[in-house]
Chains A and B, each alone.
Chain A
Amino acid sequence: MERRLLDGKNIVVTGTARGMGRVMLETFAKNGANVWALARIETQEHLKKCEEISQEYGVEVMPLYAELSDPDAIKTVVNEIRKTKMPVDGLVNNAGITYNALFQMTKMEDLREQFEINFFAPYLLTQYISKMMIRNKKGSIVNISSTAAIDGNSGKSAYGASKAAIIIMTKCISEELANMGVRSNAICPGVTDTDMLSTLPDYIMDIQKEASFLKKIGKPVDIANMAMFLLSDQSSYVTGQVIRVDGGMTSYNKR
């Protein structure tokens, strides 16, 4: 049987109910990983999807549910993971919320919510999970940031700042955890075709396509494939990096 990139690895992924997280769940399972599939709310659809993926690819898919704005809920989920006694090889902090508002129109409560979900929650989860990785002297942490965190776009001051925070966390812990065998990298997706994007009008989509060297919008699987590489042993010499997956959009802007 052909060896798959994540064979035998056990991966925690947040935000698997939809969008990129859902595609990551399937991509990782397809490539041999057992996955703890975190989502905010338990639904029949999510449970069924986990079961189907597990059956199809012959791996374990363990659905877990937590409201990430609640630190106790995060702790409970980590305890569930610990109880399985399976080593954790990878963590993908994917769950996030988006927000668009001009700087002067951004309410402090909305700013706080951005940081609660996009930064504090992955920070706490990573604190817990990285300790489990330290025990095994290996692990890969992948944080999903955004090109908005690097470029800074109108309307993205709150969202971009929360995603920029996770880039700094990624870089800091990559040094702190390096000699314990744990790597940490961030992915910055550009415009990617998920539910979040479906509300944008066609003309905006056309502008985004034009701004990309590859003249297309990214697919969730493009992000999932990069995450898979970073989780795999193929990237064993890669840590502390911030990798754009944007079809060359930055390069276009720099011309």
Chain B
Amino acid sequence: MSESKTRRIVINPVTRVEGHGKVSILMDDQNRVTQARFHIIEFRGFERFIQGRPYWELPVVVQRLCGICPVSHHLCAAKATDVLVGADQLTPTAEKMRRLMHYGQFFQSHALHFFHLCSPDILFGFDADPAVRNVIGVARHHKELAVQGVMMRKYGQEIIKATAGKKIHGTGAIPGGINKNLSIEERDTFLADIDQMIEWSHGALELAKGYTVENLEMLSDFGSFPSNHLSLVAEDGSMDLYHGNLRAIDADGETIVDQVAPADYLDVIREEVKSWSYMKFPFLKARGPEDGWYRVGPLARLNACDSIDTPQAEEARKEFMSVTDGKPNNITMAYHWARMIETLHAAEKIKELLNDPDLQGEDLVVEGERRSEGVAIIEAPRGTLFHHYKIDDDDRVVMANLIVSTTNNNVPMNRAVQRVAEDHLSGKAEISEGLLNHIEVAIRAYDPCLSCATHALGKMPLVVELIDHEGRVVERKTKS
């Protein structure tokens, strides 16, 4: 870094993501990017303040760390408490109700991200007028699409309410099972609309695919880099978003680890702490902290699985993989396409489950021999989520460790930011809003949930500051 004329650009906060983060970019006197970092500036204290509470509160308390994907934390904590109460095999009703809740969550969360957060960038362009490049602009210029986005979210949220009791922060999953089944009336309400949801999922998928294929040359370089990929897979290697074992592959598709049981995650995953972020940096032990970082989420899941067990999503997966000749896809912006394949998969799974009479079963809870330690892993919409708890003889939580999806994607997001900064900002004396949005576009591809990764506090105006090497603010722009 130049000692004399370094300048620093800060994007604070990054917009159209869940939660609060900022980007800082250091440039030397030739306007070359010397460093670009994505900082998570919130603080999460859940691992500490859950200590001393009884274990059966975990699914209800820990989900409070997020208002966007509480279902993922609710279910992951519930799965960990299953281990604690010795419920190794749930009843079919309990397992399927939880899966229905989970697919409902995927459906609404992916729809929210694609329609509300991402679509302004791909519909209007990265550097379009920000007054248009937002969800209101989508509603104004692509009304049908905006309505579909809202209705798809609503459908997923109603599924969550029917399975968890509430749309946000429900109580459905309990240690060893579930506290309700699905009534015939509830089932019929959802069945009436599911084909429409599948059709709209196809529409969104076509939009994401078309955009990616048409702009493949540009997107292949945009914020992209080779990386390892991590996700849960079923025993037969197919995609399973609710339960399975860990698989990690490298950028060329070589297997690093496979079928690692959740309880053994510490054998393969390690976490590193860095002074400039509240987030930890997980890595694959086998490859070490320098090379062992990996991506999670839709892109990683599509890359890691061998197949998808619903026919329409499987067709879409094959098409997706054909773009890279069956090798892992390392294009950051391909996350959107992968996310829409998963949305279709979730809709297909919802239909499959709704037609399953087990959802009306009465046998809801099992338990077995109590244990003092429980680990669970689930695929949250944003990626692999780990919950690990230890309890004492009095049922108190004495240790909690959470590795959330966004934490897993910490290094990749920083790589994406660095890459975009180097490619699009380096050498430019004037940094426009549109150029800065390129940075945010790359971050948004990962759909980070910064509230989960840390914990949300405060309001979110956008502040961009240019700071010289002595810390003086040269220029400041604010957008509320």
Q: Are A and B subunits of one complex?
A: no
Residues of B within 8 A of A (CB): none
Residues of A within 8 A of B (CB): none
